[in-house]
Every structure is written in structure tokens, then in C-alpha cells.
Amino acid sequence: MTPAERVIPTWTEPLATAASAPIGGPLGRHAAIGRHWFWTPLRVALLIAVIGLAIGWFGKAACVQQYYNEDSKKLELDWRSNRPFTAMCYSDIIPLYSAERLNEGGFPYKTSWIDDEGKPTAHVRYMEYPVLTGLFQWVNAKLADGWLAIAGAGWLPTGLAVTVFFDISAFWLALAWLVTIWAVTRTARRRPWDAALIAASPLLLVHAFTNFDTLATAFAATGILAWARKKPALAGVLLGLGGAAKLYPLFVLGPLLVLCLRAGRMRDWARTALAAIIAWAVVNLPIMLGYPRGWWEFFHRNSLRGADPDSLYNVVSQFTGWAGFDGRLGFGQTPVWLNAVSGLLFVVSCAIIAFIALQAPVRPRLAQLSFLVVAAFLLTNKVWSPQYSLWLVPLAVLAVPRWRILLAWMTLDALVWAPRMMFYLGDDKKGLPIDWFLSFVVLRDLAVLGLCVLVVYEIYHPARDLVRQGAGGVPLDDPAGGVLDGAPDRLTLTVTGFRRANAPAR
């Protein structure tokens, strides 16, 4: 990549132009580009991300503060006065340390316990996360035990085990986000400065340490990078490992299938899919065969979940009084119709995206279709946990790198956290009523839907796609498309049906 081919954001993005004013304004027309010995776009983005991650950690740190309880005569987490909600520092990582019995040292998926023991709702529980994420938590718990053992000898600072567990987990999660930025920068070689949006995302400040989702973004981003570097087997391995951490990296296989079908590169897709299956199986099969009931817990718990507070189904239910597809269910009852409807809507959405991919005048880019598929899943799913929005950030930057639009969406999405925390605080403790929270949820969903509309518009109007605008006005295909970049179409969809090109497929 020559400096002349690199997109300069202070020349093309009004937001970057305005932000450059305090440091001398836009880059000069005769400036030497790409020759600084240290400050490359990647290193600048990583530095911004480190600052953002530090701010994000301090935002959660209020929830790992300790105090000496005079009654119990020991150190405890200071969650008095509803601190997780009033300080807006809540993180799943902290309660999961004890809720998943990581503090007891047992191996996840083997260890079981009784929730609500002695109550009518008593039930057997296991680790409820996908295998790679569950093992990630277990390893961090063991590292926390080792840290405390060494600290006991006076070698290291000490504290509550849950505090050490959170800090160790946060370190690896921060590293995973830095890997995400690295992968996106390498993927978008003509537009490396776009990664600054990932580094400075308001969603990073709020949700980097809300759960364990940066693990999945790292695998998804590196999988897309491997595909861009024409390494389909490696791409499959990374996407398969991502699927063992969270489901969504496997969604990238869907857009790849449709694009490879259109380009006649099905062998490359088959290699990627096979590698993904093998990688997923290598992680999952030992647990599946050794502890089948514990392995199944993730799927079992998800099938039992109703419409989460921030799902569209709950929004409709709260604003209209609708009882839901399944009516009022008792404890342990499966929302069969909700599961079926949300699944069907996602399948229909994927079918529409596939139609667009095959019918568009120019073959869409992988990032565009991947963003549409993941956004469709979130919008139609019965669960949209707040940290899931991180999934969209790297895909959005690759799909539609329009800085002002993306920053506006990410800011709005991050702001949903405030009414969420105030709603969880409760009306009796001067929290906000649910209507405030749901109103922000609707605005968030409309913003994501608006991004989807913009992506579809650029698919049908490729001249408007910033990524396709090459140096000297020469249009590009898909710079991150790997074997698809520049490949001729072999199969397209027309008004009368499928049309095959005369050239043989490979």
C-alpha cells in the first residue's frame, strides 16, 4: 500500500477536519505520508484505545471497591446504597465470580449447584456460558487464586478475590479489544484511520468490561482479516473459535456462503466452513462428551429466557399491555412461540439479505453483509444484552465508515446505559420509570435500522460506498474480500430467476 493510496481523514471527513484544528489543521497537500518512524495510524489508534480502556476500567472500578464490615469483621465489596446502579458501574464479571461458583475452585460444566435451594423454584445449575468463555472465566479464577497466594507472601498487592478476578479478566478483555483494532486496521489497509472510531467508541467506555464480549470481537475481526489475506482455512479456525466464545462470529459464514456462491468460489467457502466446524468441535467436544449436562446448560438456559427488557418484544409488551406470544409463563416454562417467532424472523431477515447479495448490481462487500446479518440478529432476537452492541462496532467501521454517522449511533447506544441503570435502581429508590429506558431502546434500534438502510443503499449505489472509491477515481471491488476481490460473478439473481455466467466456476 503506497502513501498515495491511503485515505486521509482530515481531507475526507468533516469530523476529522474539525478535530485536527487544535493540532494545526488538516494534513498539508505536500506532507510526507506514511514516513514517521513511530506514529503510524495503528499505533495512534492503539494509544487512543488504551486511554479509552483505562477510562472504561475506572468506570467499573467503583463496583470493586472494598470496605471493612464491622459486623462480619472482614473485607466486603462496597455495594451499599445500590452502588452498581447509582454509580452506573455494574459489570456481570463481578457477580458471576460467585454466581458461577468460580470462587469454589470447581471445574465449570462439571460443577453443579442448586439455585433457590429450599424454595419452590429450586433447580440445578451449571456454567451457563459457551465453552471458551466459560474456560476463560475459570482460568482467570485460577490466576486470581495464584495472585492471592503470592500476595500472601508479601510479593504483590492484595484484595478480595473477586476484585483480583475482575482486574485479571479486564486485562485480557482489554488486550482482546486491542487485537480487534489491530485486525480492523490491517483489513482496511487503505483506510487505517477508521480504526480510531473503534478505539474512541463511546460503547468501549461503557461496555468493554460489562461482560466477556471483546473475546468474540477479536476472533471475528481476525477471522475477517485472515479471509482478506486469502487464508480461508485460518479464517475458518478463527471464526470457529469465536463461535466457541459467543455465537455471532459464526454468522460471518452466511455472508461468505452467498458471496462465494455468486463468485463461484464455493471451494474456498467449504474450506472456511470445514475449518470453523473443526475448530469449534475441538473446543466443545471434550466438554460435550465429558460433561454433557453441563455443556448443554448454555442452550438450555437460553431456550428458557423470555423477552429481555431491551428487546423489541418487551417494548411492545410494556407499551401495549400485550402478554406476549406465549402469554404469562410460570417459572421454568419455555417460551416456545417467542423462540419460534424470533428464530423465524432472523431466518427471514437472512433470506432478504441473501436476495440483496445475489441481486445487487455489484457484488456487495463482506463487511456490508456481515453487519446486516449481525444487526438483523440483534433486532429480531429476544435478548439484546447491552454489551452485544460491541459486536457491531468493528463491522460498522468496515461496512460504512462515515465518521459522524457512526459516532452519533455509538453515542446514542452508549447513552442507553444511563436510563437502564436508573430503571434497575427502581422507582422506590428514586430511579426512572421503565418508559424512559424503553424510549432509549427504541431510539437505539431505530439508529441501527438506519445504518442498515444506509448499507443497503450503498450496496445498490456502489459509487456512494466510500470503501470502493479508489485512488484516482478508479472504483474498487472489495479490498477486504480476499479471493472474492476482483473475481467475476458466476451466478446472479435477476427478475426472471438465476443467471449463470459463461465462464466456468472454480
What is d(CA 341, CA 381) in angstroms, rounded to the nearest whole number?
A: 9
Q: Give the pLDDT score at 241.
A: 97
Q: Give the pLDDT score at 71.
A: 80
Q: Give the pLDDT score at 159.
A: 84
* CA angle centred on 407, ends 35 and 316, rounded to 5°: 155
Question: In a 3-state reduction of DSSP, which class is residue 55?
Answer: helix
Distances in Å between the Cα of 451 and the Cα atoms of 259, 383, 457 are 21, 20, 10
Q: What is the pLDDT of residues 466-496, one digit of tens each?
A: 899 876 667 889 988 999 998 998 988 876 6
The label of the residue with cell 468496515 reads 398
How would you class 130 by CB atoms within 10 Å of its CB: exposed for 0-12, middle for 13-18, buried for 19 or more? buried
Question: In a 3-state reduction of DSSP, which class is residue 66?
Answer: strand
Q: Give the pLDDT score at 505.
A: 42
Q: Contact 426/96 with Cβ under 8 angstroms?
A: no
DSSP letters spanning 476-489: -S-TT-GGGTTPPP
Q: Contact 213/92 with Cβ under 8 angstroms?
A: no
Type and span of the H or E element at 492: strand 491-494
Other Cβ atoms within 10 Å of 177 Cβ, number: 30
Backbone φ, ψ for residue 493 (5° rounding) = -110, 125
Q: Contact 403/198 with Cβ under 8 angstroms?
A: no
Q: Contact 426/435 with Cβ under 8 angstroms?
A: no
Closest to 454 (Cα-Cα) out of 468, 464, 445: 464
Mean pLDDT per 10-residue interval, the chain, length 506 residues: 59 65 60 64 93 96 88 84 92 94 91 87 91 96 92 80 95 97 92 91 96 97 96 97 96 97 94 97 96 94 90 90 82 89 96 95 96 97 95 96 94 95 85 90 96 97 89 80 91 75 50
Q: What is the pLDDT of residues 164-201, one digit of tens each?
A: 999 999 999 999 999 999 999 999 888 888 999 999 99
What is d(CA 312, CA 384) in angstroms, rounded to the nearest whole number?
A: 9
